[in-house]
Chain A
Amino acid sequence: MKRLALLCVLLLPACLAKPFHQQGLFDFMLEDEGSADMASTDDPVMSGFGPVCPFRCQCHLRVVQCSDLGLEKVPKDLPPDTTLLDLQNNKITEIKEGDFKNLKNLHALILVNNKISKISPLAFAPLKKLERLYLSKNSLKELPENMPKSLQEIRAHENEISKLRKAVFNGLNQVIVLELGTNPIKSSGIENGAFQGMKRLSYIRIADTNITSIPKGLPPSLTELHLDGNKISKIDAESLSGLTNLAKLGLSFNSISSVENGSLNNVPHLRELHLNNNELVRVPSGLGDHKYIQVVYLHNNKIASIGINDFCPLGYNTKKASYSGVSLFSNPVQYWEIQPSAFRCIHERSAVQIGNYK
């Protein structure tokens, strides 16, 4: 009896090799062939197996690298623990609702240089930890809806965006960087107070667009504002009001012919100001009294004369930082026409470039 029992127990552990079963590599073909009645996509997950890396991609340490593959769609069945998904340089035209399902841990999504013209409003819903969204070089006509509220960086350079609506930025109060250059944005297309709710916004770049003035109502958290390459014709003090944290202001390559009196007073902590390649006929007022300004690019303008108090304060030097770079070359004014005392508060000789050095 005992032996029989032991024999039975002996037979029990069937020496099985578990079948090795990869999942889900196939669904794309089901679509191709119109085989709508094929098995559902809810295959049971084989436990203890591990994530699947889409063919030709490289998956390593939660980074999925699928760039340069000519993909027309976001690959399915991406490993659920992915933190960075690089899909740049493909031919993706559309982001559909389920494309990113299960990617709960995704921090960065790179969709740069595709042909995306349409993003489903529910596409980003699963991405509750997304911090960086790179959409540059696509065909988007507007920023996608319902971007994750965890976002810190949004880049949508070189698209076909003409409008910036307030609704699209709703709730995005963690965004620090916003890059929207090379888009056909018009000043009238920027809704009033579009960026108001973005309490952490520190860097905005809206360069090479069709805007004709500095957008109003920019958030006071801004430290860098880059509006180069636009069609701005003048700087009005009101646009810069409230920007007490602004440290860098880029306005080069516009058509600015005047800077309203008091503009620079609104940005008391400005350190660097680029106004080169504009239509200025004189040095903007307020530089002399400005306490922190250090770099001022004024080259390639139409400045015909420089006053002795254009850069330096009258009387006692109240500046807290000294100029480290002032450029005045390629202006009508000639170096011999400038009185030396105009640069009395500039201690480093090389800090001023008047174009008399070859």
Chain B
Amino acid sequence: MKEYTLLLFLALCSAKSLTGPSYFTLKNMMLQDMEDDDYDDDDDDNSLFPTTEPILPLIPFDLFPTCPFGCQCYVRVVHCSDLGLTSVPRNIPPDTRMIDLQNNKIKEVKENDLRGLTSLYALALNNNKIYKIHPKAFEPTKRLRRLYLSHNQLTEIPTNLPRTLAELRIHANKVKKIPKDVFKGMKSLHVLEMSANPLNNDGIEPGAFEGVNIYHIRIAEAKLTSIPKGLPSSLLELHLDDNKITGIELEDFNRYKDLQRLGLGNNKIKEVENGSFANIPSIREIHLEKNKLKKVPPGLPELKYLQVVFLHSNHIAKLGVNDFCPTGRRKKKALYSGISLFNNPVKYWEVQPSTFRCILARNSVQLGNFLK
């Protein structure tokens, strides 16, 4: 009987303790529905280009009239980049899945420009001179997943974007605000890149992200002075580098509980309020380089999964012995793999060795004390 009890204990003891969900497992799982499974017959990896098999048809191009002159049309991909086009070409084959119109001189997307393109999956219009998109322009493209509008002259996010959209890139335009209903019903939107726009905190209207599950948002090189409050709570990655953010306050992250990667480099952050990071317990990577921090932000030892912290190029003059590593019995579930502290006033000889007691790999800490 006792033997059996012991065997039972043996079994129980073999249960491994819980490790945090792998960052990539979680992300890939959630991003899986970004791609339409029953839909990509020849496009297994869902990249912008048909890549699984080399395209070697007998006649490479759709010679017969329906390929716009100068463009290359093959296997439902239309390449019309670098042609100096001033408008969207008219005779695009109707079964096209991907159109590359980047690097042209298109000024406007008109109502009927995308007419009949019901299979369109990706549209690249970056690097044009687009200042105007007709509100009904995207009506025909009911399967559009990726829309690239970066480097144009748009002053607002186009209205009536397809609800199937998974990725929107509108970097380097002139967008000043994100209005309340602009993403309405867009349940598949997962990635939003809108850096290099003159957007300030007031420009993000309340409710702008209501009902939307974006996982990756980047609004860098803009005019933000604090962490925007109304972003979706599904956020896994938030990148706000190169803004004018002056501080991190307690309530800043209280809706972003799943955040895993946070980029705040090159801002003007002086201080991180006590307890701010307690709202992001799953965080793995924090970039706070090139700010105006005078000390290491509080709360790092409590972040069980934190592995990378960039604090270089700040005004940190002193390190506390418990700035990084937990005291007492608390243990991190993941070890630090990279802490950068170089380019700060603090000198390596002023740091007590026990400050880095929980960091096992010697090269994980960069104090800037090594010279060629």
Chain A residues in the interface with B (C-beta under 8 A): 2-3, 6-7, 9-10, 13, 15-23, 25-26, 29-30, 32-39, 49-51, 53, 55-56, 58-63, 65, 67-68, 83-84, 86, 89, 107-108, 112-113, 131-132, 136-137, 152, 155, 157-158, 174, 176-177, 179, 181-182, 200, 202-203, 205, 208, 223-224, 226, 228, 247-248, 250, 271-272, 274, 294, 324
Contacts and interface: CB of A to CB of B under 8 A. Distances in A.
Given A108-B47, A108-B51, A324-B65, A49 B22 contact: yes
Contacts of B364: 26
6 cross-chain pairs, A with B, having the tightest CB-CB distances, nearest first: A20-B334, A35-B370, A107-B51, A34-B372, A84-B47, A157-B82
Contact of A68 (B171, B308, B363): B171
Contacts of B362: 39
B48 A89 contact: no
B51 A84 contact: yes
B82 A182 contact: yes
B82 A89 contact: no
Contacts of B312: 29
A22 B308 contact: yes
A55 B305 contact: no
Contact of B69 (A56, A59, A132, A274): A274
Interface in B54-93: 54-56, 59-61, 63, 65, 69-70, 72, 79, 81-82, 84
Contact of B3 (A2, A35, A294): A2
B60 A202 contact: yes
B337 interface: yes
Contacts of A274: 69
Contacts, number: 208
Given A26-B363, A29-B312, A61 B35 contact: yes
Given A10-B9, A55-B261, A18 B19 contact: yes
Contact of A25 (B2, B150, B338): B338
User: Do most interface residues of chain A lie in helix, strand or loop, or is the interface mixed?
Assistant: loop
Contacts of B211: none
A22 B307 contact: yes
Tell me which of A56, A113, A131 has the highest count of chain B C-beta atoms within 10 A of its own C-beta: A56
A60 B370 contact: no
Interface string B194-235: 011000000000000000000010100000000000000000
Nearest to A201: B60
Interface residues of B, number: 86
A30 B368 CA distance: 9
A3 B3 contact: yes
B121 to A, nearest CB: 13
Contacts of B19: 17-18, 20
Interface string B1-15: 011001101100111
Contact of B285 (A55, A136, A202, A228): A55
B187 interface: no
A333 B74 CA distance: 39
A311 B127 CA distance: 40
Given A34-B372, A202-B61, A56 B263 contact: yes
Contacts of A248: 63, 69
Given A29-B342, A56-B263, A155-B81, A16 B16 contact: yes
A120 B86 CA distance: 36
A67 B70 CA distance: 26
B265 to A, nearest CB: 9
A3 B28 CA distance: 47
28 contacts: A2-B3, A3-B6, A6-B6, A13-B14, A17-B333, A20-B19, A21-B337, A23-B337, A25-B337, A26-B308, A29-B366, A33-B368, A34-B372, A39-B361, A50-B25, A51-B24, A56-B218, A56-B239, A61-B35, A61-B47, A63-B45, A89-B151, A136-B81, A136-B103, A202-B61, A203-B60, A223-B59, A224-B61
Nearest to A247: B63
Contacts of A22: 284, 307-308, 337-338
